């Protein structure tokens, strides 16, 4: 049962948990630290103690994150660390900030606090595409 939630920067995570280099692929992502989700690399990850495994994946908010432990949904890759994470604590490391994708004009907006997404999601437009009338209507309903 998870009791604690700790957010770290990438730098803090690297310093505190000490990821190990991927010895299988000399051209691994994340400057050689990430293990892939298939083949020999994922097989190697599965052999490790779960407390040394970290999953890199897409968050529901459009950002990408590293989380403590093994995961499958939205995964991009894995990391193995020298220092284990603590049982009962979920660690989250934000790698990239969330974005909002406008279905209308196909523009991506950086949206670190999900302000654009929260306001324009149902409209499927962005501040550039929405008409004055649509924006007024959004403001009246929120």
114 & 50 share domain: no
Q: Are 70 and 55 in contact (CB under 8 A)?
A: yes
Q: Are 53 and 41 in contact (CB under 8 A)?
A: no
Interval 89-101 mean pLDDT: 90
Grade residue 141 by pLDDT with cuts at 50, 70 and 90: confident
66 & 114 share domain: no
Number of domains within the chain: 2
Predicted confidence at residue 1, as pLDDT, reads 55
21 & 91 share domain: yes
DSSP conformational letter for 111: -
120 & 92 share domain: no
Interval 111-132 mean pLDDT: 88
8 & 36 share domain: yes
52 & 112 share domain: no
85 & 103 share domain: no
Domain containing residue 104: 99-141
Model confidence pLDDT, tens digit, residues 32-85: 999 999 999 999 999 999 999 999 999 887 789 999 999 989 999 999 999 999
Q: Are 95 and 10 in contact (CB under 8 A)?
A: yes
Interval 102-117 mean pLDDT: 88
Grade residue 2 by pLDDT with cuts at 50, 70 and 90: low
């Amino acid at each position: 049962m998870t009791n604690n939630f700790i957010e770290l920067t990438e730098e803090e995570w690297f310093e505190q948990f000490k990821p190990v280099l991927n010895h299988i692929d000399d051209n691994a992502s994340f400057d050689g630290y990430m293990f892939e989700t298939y083949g020999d690399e994922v097989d190697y990850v599965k052999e490790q103690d779960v407390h040394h495994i970290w999953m890199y994946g897409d968050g529901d908010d459009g950002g990408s994150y590293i989380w403590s432990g093994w995961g499958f949904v939205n995964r991009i890759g894995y990391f193995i660390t020298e220092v284990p994470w603590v049982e009962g604590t979920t660690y989250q490391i934000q790698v990239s900030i969330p974005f909002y994708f406008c279905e209308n004009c196909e523009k991506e907006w950086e949206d670190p606090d999900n302000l654009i997404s929260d306001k324009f999601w149902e409209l499927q437009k962005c501040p550039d595409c929405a008409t004055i009338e649509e924006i007024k209507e959004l403001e009246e309903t929120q």
